[in-house]
Amino acid sequence: GYYFNTNNPYRDWPSAFAEGQEKAREGDLNAAVLLLEAAILQDPQDSEAWQVLGMTQAENENEQAAIVSLQRCLELRPNNLPALMALAVSLTNGGMQQEACDALRRWISHNPRYKHLVRYHQSPLRGSPATPRRGPHTSTPARSELQEVLLLFQDAALMNMDCVDPDLQTGLGVLFNLSSDFNKAVEAFTAALSVRPQ
């Protein structure tokens, strides 16, 4: 579970969520966390508050709290694409490759623009890319899962030849980072930033 600050001066603050968002935008992350925690204590079912808290905790370099917050957000709203992408980044930062791949697979399978690719990749005609090969080049399940999700994202990128999807490029950057292809990770993150500089 999430460990809330015990001495929160904003515990009963009437507009805690709105003020927490404002503090996060201003860069006052510690105050933002307290206000967002207060908002959640007032309404534990507020998936948006859990999402903003998770993203704020990630920005504040508190990956474990970010992961727990984003997972709670996704329990309440499983198809929340920004939360799934943020979770993948936090899991990557926390060294949890398999879980990051799973979050990115969920992101693409919930994305209305790309979800058909997941069904295509699972087609029996294509074989099962997740099945490790036999012989001297057998890959570990984690490695083949990473390659399978990377292929999904690369296929999705081919659908965007005329434009850049910054979220898709962020996912590609994470996947290239996980596979230690750092030059391609830089290219993907640079592409994302070209569309969304903030």
Average pLDDT over residues 79-88: 97
Q: Is the pLDDT of residue 182 over 60?
A: yes
Q: What's the rounded Cα separation, in Å, for the pair 157 and 113?
A: 11
Give the pLDDT confidence score for residue 161 in this predicted structure.
85
> 106-131 pLDDT, tens per residue?
999 999 999 999 877 665 444 444 43
* pLDDT at 171 > cutoff 80: yes
Cβ-contact 38, 12 below 8 angstroms: yes
Between CA 167 and CA 63 the distance in angstroms is 20
pLDDT at position 122 is 63
Residue 153: predicted pLDDT: 96
pLDDT digits (tens, 9 = 90+) for 125-163: 444 444 333 333 333 445 688 999 999 999 999 998 889
The pLDDT, as a whole number, for residue 51 is 98
Output the CA torsion sign for 140, 146, 150, 153.
Answer: positive
Estimate to the nearest angstrom the gap between the alpha carbon of 160 and the chain centroid: 20
pLDDT attached to residue 29: 97
The band of 198, judged by pLDDT with boundaries at 50, 70 and 90, is confident
Residue 142 pLDDT: 58
Render pLDDT for 20-75 as a digit per residue (tens, 0 to 9). 999 999 999 999 999 999 999 999 999 999 999 999 999 999 999 999 999 999 99
Q: First vs last Cα of the chain: how many Å apart?
A: 31
